[in-house]
Amino acid sequence: MWPGVIERYRAWLPVSEHTPVVTLREGNTPLVEAPGLLGRGKTLWLKFEGLNPTGSFKDRGMTLAVSKAKEAGARTVICASTGNTSAAAAAYAARAGMTCVVVIPDGRIAVGKLAQALAHGARVVALAGNFDEALAHVRALAEQHPALALVNSVNPFRLEGQKTAAFEIVDALGHAPTHLALPVGNAGNITAYGMGFRAYRDAGRIPALPRLLGFQAAGAAPLVLGHPVEHPETVATAIRIGRPASGERALAAVAESGGRVEAVTDAEILDAYRRLATTVGILAEPASCAAVAGVLKLEREGYFAAGDEVVVVLTGHGLKDPDTARAVSGVEPIRASSRAEIEALLELATPS
Ligand code: F0G
C-alpha cells in the first residue's frame, strides 16, 4: 500500500525515527496523457496533483512541515495563503491534533478552499490586504511568538516534502522528461522541483535536469518583469502574488536547468482551462491552467522539438473553485418538469 511521501522517500528527507509522521497518504498522483495538445512526435503528461488528499500539491510539503512541527513540540501552526496552503495546513493540523491559524486575503480565495479550512476547524482570519501583506504579518508573528510554527514555504521542510513530486515523475517514467512546466506564485514549488531533480541527478539516477518552465499570470508576474508587483491581479487567485518569497532561488533553479519563466494572460489561462475540461476530461484550477496555457503558447512559437517529453504539473483540482467552473462553462442548467419536456429539449422524437 502507498505509505505517503515521507515513508516512500524517507532516505531523501530530513526525518529520523523520532519524527512523528503525520500523513494522509499524500502523493502517488498519476501522470495522465494529454494527446492532441502538442504536435506529432512530442509527448505531454499531466501530473494531476489535484488528486492529493486536500486537492493540491501542498499536501506533500504539509506532511513534512507538520510532522517536524510536532516533533519540535509545537501546538499551533500558522500560515498565510491564497487558499490551498490553508486547506492543507488545516487538514494536517487536524490530523496531528494541533491548532491551525490561517490568514487569507479577504474575499480573494476560491470558495472550496475557504470551506476546507473552516471545515477542518482552522481559525480563519480574512485580512483586508493581499497575500504578500498576509505573509509579511504571519512571518513577523511567528518570529515574535516562538509557540507558533510557520508552515508557509519559507519553512524549509515544505520544499523538502514538495521535491518528492520530482522523484515520482522520474520513478514513474523511468527517466526524466525533457521539460517540466508549472505555475509560479510564491515560487516555492518550482524551487522544490529543482531540488528534487538535482538530488536525483547528483545521485546518478538521471543524467541531466529537465528544463523548468515556470508560468506566471500576466497581472502578477514579478519574476518576468524583474520587480515586485504592488497590486497583483489575475483570475488565477492561487498565484495572485507580487513578491514571491522564493523568487531568487526559483530563478536560479530555472537558469541552472536551461528553462525559462514567462507570463500568460487571463484569457489564455481560461482558454486552456476550457480545453482541458472539454477535450482532456480534467478539471484543474485556473492557476494550474496557467502552465497548460504556457506550454500551448510555447508550442505555437515552435519552442518544442520532436522527441520532447513535457510534464505539466496540474497543481490543484478544479473543484476548489466552482465559481470559475460555472463561469467558464457560460451556460445554466436547462429546467424541465416532465419527461416530455426533457425529450423535447433533446430534440428526440416522441414515441408513438
Ligand atoms: N498552483 C496552485 C494551485 C497554488 O495554490 C499555488 C500556490 C501555486 C500553483 C504556486 O505555487 O507558490 O509554490 O509558486 N499557492 C499558495 C497558497 C501561495 O497559499 O496556497 P508556489
Amino acid at 19: T
Q: How far is CA 163 from CA 24, 64, 67, 160, 199, in A?
A: 17, 11, 16, 5, 9
Ligand 1: atom nearest CA of 320 is 3
Long-range contacts, stretch 119-124, CB < 8 angstroms, 24+ apart: 119/90, 120/87, 120/90, 120/91, 120/93, 120/94, 121/90, 121/94, 122/86, 122/89, 122/90, 122/93, 123/99, 124/86
Distance CA 205, CA 91 (A): 34
Residue pointed to by grid coordinates 498522483 = 29
Q: How far is CA 313 from CA 39, 47, 111, 342, in A?
A: 19, 5, 22, 40
**Cβ atoms of residues 209 and 197 within 8 Å:** yes
pLDDT averaged over consecutive 10-residue blocks of the chain (352 residues)? 98 98 98 96 98 98 98 98 98 98 97 98 98 98 96 97 99 98 98 98 98 99 98 98 98 98 98 98 98 98 98 98 96 94 79 56
Span from the CA of 346 to the centroid of ligand 1 (angstroms): 41
Q: φ, ψ for residue 290 (rounded to 5)?
A: -60, -35
- Nearest Cα residue to 190 out of 132, 249, 120: 249
pLDDT value for 147: 93
Between strands 260-264 and 211-217, the pairing is parallel
- Which residue minimizes the CA distance to atom 15 of ligand 1? 238
- Which residue minimizes the CA distance to atom 4 of ligand 1? 238
pTM as predicted: 0.97
Q: What is the DSSP letter of 40?
A: T
Grid coordinates of 124: 480563519
Distance CA 48, CA 44 (A): 12
Counted residue by residue, the chain has a size of 352
pLDDT value for 201: 98
Ligand 1: atom nearest CA of 82 is 19
Span from the CA of 102 to the centroid of ligand 1 (angstroms): 15
List ligand 1's pocket residues with C-beta within 6 A.
56, 58, 81-85, 153, 183-189, 238-239, 285, 287-288, 315-316
Question: Which string of DSSP letters, residue by residue, matches 285-324?
Answer: -HHHHHHHHHHHHHHHTT---TT-EEEEEE-BBGGG-HHH
Distance CA 159, CA 265 (A): 27
- Nearest Cα residue to 162 out of 247, 94, 91, 62: 62
Grid coordinates of 169: 515523475
pLDDT value for 352: 54
Distance CA 278, CA 13 (A): 39
- Nearest Cα residue to 196 out of 182, 213, 185, 210: 210
